[in-house]
Amino acid sequence: MSKIKNRNVLVTGGASGIGKLLGEGCLEKGAKNLVIWDMNEDTLYKTAGEFQAKGYSVHPYLVDVTDTEAIERAAEDVIDKMGTIDILFNNAGIVVGKDFEDHTAKDIDLSIQVNVMGCMHVARVFLPEMIRRERGHIINIASAAGLIPNPKMSVYVASKWAVVGWSESLRIELEKAYHNMHVTTVMPGFIDTGMFEGVQAPMLMPMLKPHEIVNKIIKAVRYNDVFVKEPWIVKVTPILRGILPPRLFDFIAGDVFKVYDSMNKFAGHSKKKFPTEKKS
């Protein structure tokens, strides 16, 4: 099991949404320090202040994960002050919801820089110290989109496929070489945080409640689970794609379950407020 109590935790994109809830959940499990990286200055310091007011040790850093030099500078400061990060949540992410032909070069570059390169560089800068201590857990927040194609989010899908492949490869490398190094890949369906405002949830894939998926992620960290796949239909998707002819899979996913229509009314990000709920 990966202990959260008395450990140093870092969450990218940790000032709001799932990132904020992950940080809060770890603090409630007894984390020694929570390091929050985010690029929204107002939200970053507001969230840090909320947690600090409850008596928690929280360290906010204004970091843009598309800036490799900024990642390296911030990581050096974190390691200098805290020694190491024990549990790293690669949570920062963005989505562009439109036909590929309508994407600008900036849309594509930013999506890959945040969703893929950001994860890799953040893991890269903290991994050596984890390895030196032979203790660490990296949690990469990918998506069910890393398992199935979807129109109007082709670049987002590509980025999450990349994260899933990299995350799993990293896990195997570390498991073969070290006893207490762990990687968990999280592949949720749509989460009701406001990031996917306007999305039409496919049949058998309801919008996930933020607190519920966060509880499952934290439980997975504690038990060193390889994957978090929610809802249940996500677990069988790779099997169906593997055994069904492509056109038949497209018919079932697109015409029956309406997966391929889910982004038709996508409106973009909206701000959500999460009611306080008791964590399990």
Amino acid (1-letter code) at residue 181:
M
Residue 27 tokens, joined: 């603090």
Q: Give CA–CA dist 91/227, Å, rounded.
A: 15
Q: Give CA–CA dist 38/65, Å, rounded.
A: 8
Query: Cis link prior to 231 (omega < 30° from 0)?
Result: yes
Residues 6+ apart with CB under 8 A from 174: 181, 182, 183
Q: Give CA–CA dist 219/144, Å, rounded.
A: 19
* 156 in active site: yes
Q: Give CA–CA dist 216/239, Å, rounded.
A: 22
The stretches of 184-269 forming alpha helices (DSSP H) are: 210-222, 232-243, 246-250
Angle at the Cα of 51 (from 49 to 56), degrees rounded to 5?
120
CA 3 distance to own-chain centroid:
20
Residues 6+ apart with CB under 8 A from 207: 189, 190, 191, 192, 199, 201
| CA distances, 36 to each of 81, 142, 158, 179, 239 (Å) | 14, 19, 27, 28, 37
Among residues 56, 61, 156, 223, the one annotated as catalytic is 156
Residue 30 tokens, joined: 């007894």
Unique residue bearing structure tokens 């947690």: 51
Q: Are 102 and 96 in contact (CB under 8 A)?
A: no
CB atoms within 10 A of CB 275: 6
Indicate which residues carry an active-site annotation. Answer: 156
